[in-house]
Structure 1
Amino acid sequence: MSVAESSPLGLILEPTIVFTILGAGVYFNRIRSPVYPPKDPHPQLQYRERRLFGYKVSTRDTSVWRTTTLSRLLFRYPFMIEVCYWVLTYLVYQGARGVTALTFTESTTDLARENGMWILEVENILGMDTEREFQRFFLDRPFWIGVLNRVYSFVHIPATVGFFGYMYYQTSSATFTGIRRTMALCNLYAFFVFTTWPAMPPRLLPEEYGYIDTVHSTRVASVWTTNAFCNQLAAMPSLHFGYAFIVGTSMLVHAHWKPLRIIGALYAPLILIAIVATANHYFLDAIAGLFVAILAYFTNSVLLNLLVIEDYILYVLRIEKPPTKEEVQFMNRGTEYESEESMKVWYERV
């Protein structure tokens, strides 16, 4: 299946914008006046206890690398490790999608087309197959369809990255990591669905269905969705909407500035309008994306089992994971570890 090309400028500009936002997140979430933790007073302790699916296991204690250059760098710029997690999650997810896309056969495309038509049949039974009329409403208003094309192509990833940086700054560590795990699990659940049940988006259905690919036909497609590794048959569920729901809800609940709460309230509806008006998703895709987001939220703690792997990787890299904001505040309330007792309290906490 051919993939439309993005503009040459987008190949440079879009990644630059994303990495600039990530860099800004690293800078603004830095520790302003770091009080570096002391050397481990018990270096002979080489293991720590973790939980792995309910069982206690021993993993490498990375505190022995507390004073290495990389550990001190991450201590000063703790959001850097979140950038690494985001990039790793994105690469694994896109790589898995790419392998799936490159192994598609003609029978896969036929199955995806049948599934897309089945979605419309179900919507017809439910009385909600209004995507074509919905798109025509905006096609009659060229300015607004142009806006929605750009919202679909250029808002999703930069907004998500900026959201990560803001939530790291605004919320507690427990809240932020819960949001991060929820979004990662969204990817896993969605990947399972569209790998086992590919669905063709409305824009790729036969012409008699009357849908128009407004994004790719006007060359405003994003570099993130037009590369050869992009799975074009992943309409169900809509991660665009699933992510938008998580972002919008989190902003509505946790943002302190009223304009940001208003943006949070409007974000998911805006993305819903964009994905349907551009014929990239069905309404049922959005409902499925919402369900995936809610399921991921209530089950995200399963990813805590990966802490065992994290410990071993960080140990091999000779890095200690930076402390949370709350732990840094606890350290800064001390007297720069003047006593053995204060150091003991610190190590018991971490």
Structure 2
Amino acid sequence: MLRDRPRWWTELLLIVIVYGAYSCARLLARGDVNTAIDNGLAILHLERSLWLNAEHPLNELFTQEAWLGVPSSFAYASLHYLVTPAVLVWLFRRRPLHYRLMRTWLLASTLLGLVGFTLMPTSPPRLLDPSYGFVDSMAQYSGYGWWSGEASAPSGMGDFTNQYAAMPSLHVGWSLWCGVAMWHYGRRSTLLRVLALGYPLTTMLVVMGTANHYFMDAVAGVLVMTAGLLLARPLLGLSHRLQTRFGLARPTPGTEHDSLQVARGGRQSVPAPRGRHPAGREPSGHNGSAQPRELAPPS
């Protein structure tokens, strides 16, 4: 029997396995450096033809103003790995009926991002020839933190990261996911609404200002998250059917069956208050219990 909230250890194991496979595959998808540089230059030229040249002024500002560059370097090197797990845990504990959908959305989008890294290895602006005018602000401010000149990887661990996995930007994608979660499930909290808007926007500025991503990388990150959201409900439904078919789960009223209906955008059945009936008639059934009535799912 499935419960409203999945077991924490199975969720942790699932996320560790998927992220581990993603990280290993990301390393294997390094591709040819010359191809990655050519792809990066193609994006840069496309942006210039469309008058989308936000990276240069932001990067110049971050490298000239340490009060902006240093916190931005810390943000790029850490928030990606702290905020997203924190939001996942919050959803797991406080929004169990919606947790599975949000988790599936995040994992599906992350795997789609891996497809992008594989098909289009891309050099970030900071790894282009200096003649293109970009400065690696992460390397410039590496003395303030644990990272080196190899993106957000800890000093001496550059071989364990793929520096040419710039397209799409999952820094932007994951921050967008966090923003949607905080906005939609934060019960109109003013603080969460501010964070929901501010975190993705700040992340977009940080990834461009530190010369780790182009503006088009950020756009691609949004598109990947959109595609992942469209796949999340079908994947969740498929998982539920497979578990039921193989006897791993038996949906019962009021548990995961209702959760799946909410995830699909359907209606959730809840019992009517005792002694009252929506149509004004006395309830019927064994022991005088009320018949269930249909309510629209919570927003």
Which bin holds the TM-score, normalised by the shorter protein? 0.7 to 0.9
Give the secondary structure class of the aligned counterpart of 2:20.
helix
Distance 1:232 1:187 in 2: 17
- CA distance in structure 1 between the aligned counterparts of 2:194 and 2:127, rounded to whole angstroms: 34
Q: How does 1:90-101 map to 2 (within 5 A)?
A: 90-101=19-30
Please name the residue that 1:299 is paired with. Answer: 231
Q: TM-score, normalised by structure 2?
A: 0.74
1:213/1:278 contact within 8 Å kept: yes
Say if 1:76 and 1:289 are closer, same or farther in 2 by CA, change over 3 A: closer
Query: What corresponds to 2:124 in structure 1?
Result: 201
Match of 2:281 in 1: none
Q: Distance in 1 between matches of 2:243 and 2:5?
A: 20
- 1:321 deviates by 7.1
Name the residue aligned to 1:136. Answer: 60
Question: Does the 8 A contact of 2:169 with 2:217 survive in 1?
Answer: yes
Counterpart CA distance in 2 for 1:217 and 1:321 is: 54
Distance 2:129 2:250 in 1: 53
After the TM superposition, which of the residue ranges 276-285 and 210-219 deviates more from structure 2?
210-219
Residues 189-228 of structure 1 mapped to structure 2, 5 A cutoff = 189-219=112-142, 220=145, 221=147, 222-223=152-153, 226-228=157-159
Partner of 1:82: 11
Give, in angstroms, the shift of residue 237 of structure 1.
0.6
Secondary structure of the 2:167 match is: coil
Residue 125 of structure 1 pairs with residue 49 of structure 2: yes
CA RMSD between the two structures:
3.1
State which of 228, 246, 249 in structure 1 corresponds to 2:177. Answer: 246
Show the counterpart of 2:295: none
**How far apart in 2 are the matches of 1:94 and 1:150?**
21
Q: Give how far 1:218 is off.
A: 3.0
Within the candidate set 229, 232, 236, 2:160 is matched to 229
The answer to whether the aligner puts 1:149 opposite 2:73 as a matched pair is yes
Quick one: higher RCO (CA 8 Å, sep 6+), 1 or 2? Answer: 1
Q: Which shifted more, 264-273 or 74-83?
A: 74-83
The answer to whether the 8 Å contact 1:95/1:229 transfers is no
| Distance change (3 Å), C-alpha of 1:205 and 1:309 | farther
What secondary structure, in the 3-state scheme, does the structure 2 residue paired with 1:228 have?
A: helix
1:221-260 Cα shifts (integer Å, max 9, x gaps): 2447945232111111101101111111220121133212
The answer for unaligned runs of 5 or more in structure 2 is 259-270, 272-285, 287-299
2:293 is aligned to none
CA change 1:252–1:201 in 2 (3 A) is: same
Match of residue 36, structure 2, among 96, 107, 112 = 112
Contact 1:170 1:255 in 2 (8 A): no
Instruction: Give, in whole Å, the separation in 2 of the partners of 1:182 and 1:78.
Output: 19
Change (3 A) 1:82 1:258: farther
Aligned pairs, number: 249
Counterpart residue number, 1:171: 95
* Runs of at least 5 residues in structure 1 that lack an aligned partner in the other structure: 1-62, 67-73, 334-340, 342-350
Distance 2:169 2:28 in 1: 20
The verdict on how the C-alpha distance between 1:245 and 1:212 changes in structure 2, with shifts beyond 3 A counting, is: same
8 A Cα contact 2:63 2:140, kept in partner = no
Amino acid at match of 1:234: A
Q: Equivalents in 2 of 1:265, 1:248: separation in Å?
A: 6
1:207–1:197 distance in 2 versus 1, CA, 3 Å = same
SS state at 2:11 partner: helix
TM-score normalized by structure 1? 0.64
1:156 & 1:81 partners in 2: Cα distance? 23
Match of 2:107 in 1: 184
8 Å Cα contact 1:248-1:267 kept in structure 2: yes
Distance 1:290 1:135 in 2: 22
Q: Structure 2: how far apart are the matches of 1:169 and 1:75?
A: 11
Alpha carbons 2:5, 2:96 under 8 Å: kept:
no
Write the distance in 1 (CA, Å) between the matches of 2:93 and 2:69.
35
Paired residues of 1:245 and 1:268 also in contact (CA < 8 A): yes
Q: Which residue of 2 aligns with 1:43?
A: none
Deviation at 1:322, TM superposition (A): 11
**SS of equivalent residue, structure 1 residue 155:** helix
Shift of 1:155: 0.6
User: In structure 1, what residue type is equivalent to 2:28?
Assistant: V
Identity of aligned residues (%): 26
Contact (CA 8 Å) 1:94, 1:229: kept in 2 or not?
A: no
Question: Could you tell me which amino acid in structure 1 is paired with residue 50 of structure 2?
Answer: L
Contact 2:243 2:249 in 1 (8 A): no
* One-letter amino acid of the structure 1 residue matched with residue 159 of structure 2: A
